[in-house]
């Protein structure tokens, strides 16, 4: 009889954990980019009262008799399905329409390689997130709500010319391009009063003719660093703005990480995930390529929590918990009767 009590206690613990998961899902029903979790059960170990036996000439075979010791949590899985759409009408708010994760983290002047390696200088060293609520800070850095830098590809012109720009060398060596923190270049003045670009590289400039057709006008170190307006983000992650010469300035492209096994990601809080051993080789891609989804500007991804499903799971968890408490109560009554056999 004591075994039934132990089994019920194990069941109580498992159902309490399931309720904890449900509670966290409901608490984050309005959290942008939140991915719901699900707790599953499995049975625990067994005590074998009688083992199985093979059939013989005189007697037939016998089946085993076992008594279980309750249930336990088998797994707590995260469902990485896409959540609903929240329309924000802000140009720097973007949603990934499909697979992929933004790459954000602290500023690293050397950048990161676009493919996982073993030295830590790769996308797995950055945080992964589905929350694309970005903005530019006072220094022109593209950052998220936690003040982490958003990483991507600055050299837009080179990416367009060379389709293999982001791929590893033919011998499987280091990729040609690194991930860099995206920012609007700043103007500083030389001692003689001439402008100097505070940053590295040139930025591609585009202008449109009377028919609305785009025309590449080359690169300019200074025009790109003028005050930009109407900053927007395209479906392929291209971040652009209009300078005071009415030219479209390409700042860079936001990168999206392709994770082969997103179920292996570890939640870090603040809507961040970290790539771990079982995620596979994480690669940084241009949005819409390499199995990743395109970006949708002016939108944010809502939580994928389904309240009707959570309340249904809550009812089943409550009833399961209640049934296990009844086992404890009945077992206690039986023990009481046993103690009172001799009065």
> Does 283 lie in the same domain as 147?
yes
> Does 188 lie in the same domain as 119?
yes
> Does 204 lie in the same domain as 173?
yes
> Does 279 lie in the same domain as 215?
yes
> Does 318 lie in the same domain as 285?
no
What would the two tokens of residue 144 be?
Answer: 């998220």
What would the two tokens of residue 11 be?
Answer: 């069941």
Contact between residue 129 and residue 268 where contact means Cβ atoms under 8 Å apart: no
> Does 176 lie in the same domain as 49?
no
Tens of pLDDT along 18-72?
999 999 999 999 999 999 999 999 998 888 999 999 998 888 999 999 999 999 9
> Does 183 lie in the same domain as 224?
yes
Q: Nearest 5°: phi and psi at 129?
A: -150, 155
Number of domains in the chain: 2
> Does 227 lie in the same domain as 130?
yes
> Does 260 lie in the same domain as 125?
yes
- How far apart (Å, rounded) are the C-alpha atoms in residues 83 and 155? 32
> Does 199 lie in the same domain as 120?
yes
**pTM, 2 dp:** 0.81
Range of the domain at 176: 85-301
Check whether 117 has a pLDDT greater than 80: no
> Does 96 lie in the same domain as 43?
no
Instruction: Output the pLDDT for position 130.
Output: 96
- How far apart (Å, rounded) are the C-alpha atoms in residues 35 and 77? 10
> Does 183 lie in the same domain as 110?
yes
Contact between residue 126 and residue 192 where contact means Cβ atoms under 8 Å apart: no
């Amino acid at each position: 009889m004591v075994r039934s009590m132990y089994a019920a206690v194990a069941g109580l613990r498992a159902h309490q954990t399931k309720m904890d998961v449900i509670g966290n899902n409901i608490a984050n029903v309005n959290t942008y980019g939140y991915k719901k979790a699900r707790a599953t059960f499995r049975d625990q170990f067994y005590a074998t009262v009688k083992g199985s036996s093979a059939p013989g000439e005189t007697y037939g075979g016998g089946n085993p008799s076992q008594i279980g010791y309750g249930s336990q949590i088998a797994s707590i899985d995260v469902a990485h399905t896409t959540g609903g759409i929240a329309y924000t009408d802000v140009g720097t708010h973007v949603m990934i329409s499909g697979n992929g994760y933004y790459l954000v983290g602290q500023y690293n002047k050397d950048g990161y390689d676009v493919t996982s390696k073993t030295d830590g200088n790769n996308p797995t060293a950055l945080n992964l997130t589905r929350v694309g609520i970005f903005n530019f800070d006072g220094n022109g850095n593209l950052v998220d709500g936690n003040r982490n830098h958003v990483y991507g590809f600055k050299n837009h012109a080179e990416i367009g010319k060379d389709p293999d720009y982001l791929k590893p060398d033919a011998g499987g060596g280091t990729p040609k391009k690194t991930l860099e923190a995206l920012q609007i270049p700043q103007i500083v003045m030389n001692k003689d009063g001439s402008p100097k670009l505070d940053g590295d590289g040139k930025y591609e400039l585009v202008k449109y003719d009377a028919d609305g057709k785009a025309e590449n006008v080359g690169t300019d170190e200074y025009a790109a660093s003028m005050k930009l307006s109407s900053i927007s983000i395209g479906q392929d992650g291209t971040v652009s703005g209009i300078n005071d010469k009415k030219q479209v300035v390409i700042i860079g492209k936001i990168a999206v990480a392709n994770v082969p096994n997103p179920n292996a990601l570890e939640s870090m809080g603040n809507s961040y995930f970290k790539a771990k051993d079982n995620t596979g080789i994480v690669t940084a891609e241009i949005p819409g390529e390499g199995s990743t989804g395109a970006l949708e500007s002016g939108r944010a991804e809502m939580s994928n929590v389904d309240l009707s499903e959570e309340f249904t799971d809550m009812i089943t968890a409550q009833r399961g918990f209640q049934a296990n408490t009844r086992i404890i109560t009945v077992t206690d009554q039986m023990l009481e009767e046993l103690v009172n056999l001799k009065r």
